[in-house]
Amino acid sequence: MAGPVYIADEEAELTSVSLDGLCLLFHAPSGMTHIVATPAPEILAMLRSGPADAAELLRRLSAHYAFEGEAAAGALAARLEELESAGLVRRA
Amino acid sequence: MSGTDDKATGVQAFVPTRRTVLVLGAAAASTVVTVRPALAQTAGSVLNCEIPVPGPHAGGNFIAQDGSLVAPGTAGAAPPLARPLRGEEVRNLLRTGATPAGVDPTSAQAYANYIRRLQAGMSGFTCYASLQMPR
């Protein structure tokens, strides 16, 4: 499985405030604020350790989390596309 | 809401110390909502705004594949574009990878990465930020 490889901006470019169950992200390069829900903050955190495609991200997430359901790979790919269209991740 | 004890200082705060269940959601469910900043423009003007690649501050510099500015003539880097890109061209380039007319397709990724790295105050930034507005 060779999907697109994603990369996140450096953490210094993102100001993050966690609210109850939600997370506010101010993305300095674009000047935009995003309201994200799980699993977006978790995905961004996992991308900090380097570029990754969906399969690699799933491996990294698996080290910390268990998943519900069997469609984890497809759902993760959809989440990555959302983050890309929001400008929070980009293709490496 | 005013307490600071449980305030996370970064997304690293979301890496748990014990194994928990992460719900990735249905493929169709959205987990990101973007707030429009005050500089949002109308759709028409966004598509007609222009982004010079590179901006006038870096006139003559080449652009590496990762979008950074490098000295003119650097091997593997893309030369400056002869004309600014229009908003619509940039939107298509960033979303679908479509190469604007007259642009070398092998250099398109370098130009796209340059545009993604634009910061507030740099020529073309307002145009780029506006293009990112969800409609």
pLDDT digits (tens, 9 = 90+) for B57-67: 888 899 999 99
Mutate to test the interface with B, among A32, A33, A36 (most CBs of B within 10 A): A32
Cα gap B125→B24, rounded to integer Å: 33
Q: pLDDT band at B41, cuts 50/70/90?
A: very low
Q: For A69, how many CA atoms within 13 A lie in the half-sphere containing its CB?
A: 12
At B114, is the pLDDT very low, low, confident or very high (cuts 50, 70, 90)?
A: very high
Average pLDDT in the B31-44 region?
A: 61
State the Cα–Cα distance between residues A29 and A11, nearest whole angstrom.
12
Which carries the bigger pLDDT value, residue B131 or residue B53?
B53
Q: Which residue of A has its CA nearest to B17?
A: A64
Residue B98 burial class via C-beta count within 10 angstroms: exposed 0-12, middle 13-18, buried 19 and up: middle
Name which of B8, B15, B132 is nearest A18 (Cβ-Cβ): B8
Counting as low any pLDDT under 50, the low residues of chain A are none
Q: Which pTM value belongs to this model?
A: 0.53
Q: What residues does B32 pair with on adjacent strands? A: A36
pLDDT computed for residue B78 by the predictor: 94
pLDDT in tens, B75-106: 999 999 989 998 889 988 988 889 998 899 98
- Mean pLDDT (whole number) for B25-47: 64
Residues of B with CB under 8 A from a CB of A: 6-16, 19-28, 30-37, 39, 95, 113, 116-120, 128-129, 132, 134
At B115, give phi and psi (nearest 5°).
-65, -40
Per-residue model confidence (pLDDT) at position B28: 65
pLDDT band at B49 (very low <50, low <70, confident <90, very high): confident
- Among B86, B64, B61, B88, smallest CA distance to B75 is for B64
Q: For residue B3, what pLDDT is reported?
A: 42
Per-residue exposure over A57-84, b if at least 16 CB sit within 10 Å of its own CB, e if not: bbebbeebbebeeeebbebbbbbbebbb
pLDDT in tens, B9-32: 566 666 666 678 888 877 666 778
By DSSP bridging, strand A14-18 and strand A22-27 are: antiparallel
Q: Which two tokens stand for residue A26?
A: 């101010």
The per-residue pLDDT of chain B, averaged, comes to 79
Nearest to B24 among A18, A64, A76 (CB): A76
